[in-house]
Amino acid sequence: MSKKPIVGIVMGSNSDWDTMQHAAQMLEQFDIAHEAKVLSAHRMPDDMFQYAEDAQANGLQAIIAGAGGAAHLPGMLASKTIVPVYGVPVASKYLRGEDSLYSIVQMPKGVPVATFAIGEAGAANAALHVIAGLALHDADLAKRLAEFRAKQSDTARSMNLPGY
């Protein structure tokens, strides 16, 4: 039987998956039980409200929400749950995601959404941030996160520049 998800990855459209799959891959890599689904504040507001209202009772410890353009999904989720919401601005067709970034990051005081960079690095980092929080209470996960960081340092140290 698959483990009950503790992280929810949601996105406004399946067109966001190219970006949001990087969050899923990171959680997969660290063996964190998660779910991924399309959920839109604009196109399916009742489903979105229900998801947020049930999130805590369903055992979710974090929600990673990605959306592009008028990206209201992360903020609206945050307005309906105390489960922390990590927002990922997806690059939009016309404004390259600046619109997504601004609409996620500019939350009114009192309803926070932790906002990450536009695109796949933001999606991966949102997952890593969630993992860091979980690792505070999970020694094995903390060890694996430290190993991931050490490997990354090794890769950076071995980078050569042409002619130097």
Ligand X SMILES: Nc1c(C(=O)O)ncn1[C@@H]1O[C@H](COP(=O)(O)O)[C@@H](O)[C@H]1O
What residues line the site for ligand X (CB under 6 A)? 11-13, 15-16, 40-43, 67-73, 90
What whole-number distance in Å separates Cα of residue 95 and Cα of residue 69? 8
Euclidean distance between CA atoms 66 and 11, whole angstroms: 5
Q: Which residues are annotated as a binding site?
A: 13, 16, 43
Residue 42 or 144: the one with the smaller Cβ distance to ligand X is 42
Closest CA to 91 of 13, 32, 161: 13
Closer residue to ligand X in complex, CB, 12/119: 12
Residues 103 and 113 sit within 8 Å (Cβ to Cβ): no
Residue ranges of alpha helices (H) inside the chain are 17-29, 45-55, 73-80, 98-105, 120-135, 139-157
Compare residues 64 and 90 and give the one whose CB is closer to ligand X: 90
Residue 164 beta carbon to ligand X: minimum distance, rounded to whole angstroms:
41
CB of 136 to ligand X, least distance (A): 30
Shortest distance (Å) from residue 29 CB to ligand X: 24
Separate counts of helices (H) and strands (E) for the chain: 6, 5
Contact indicator for 10, 51 with CB cutoff of 8 Å: yes
CB of 25 to ligand X, least distance (A): 19
Of 44, 66, 59, whose CA–CA distance to 7 is shortest? 59
Q: Which is nearer to ligand X, 103 or 128 (CB)?
A: 103
Shorter beta-carbon distance to ligand X: residue 52 or 135: 52
CB of 93 to ligand X, least distance (A): 8
Annotated binding-site residue numbers for substrate: 13, 16, 43
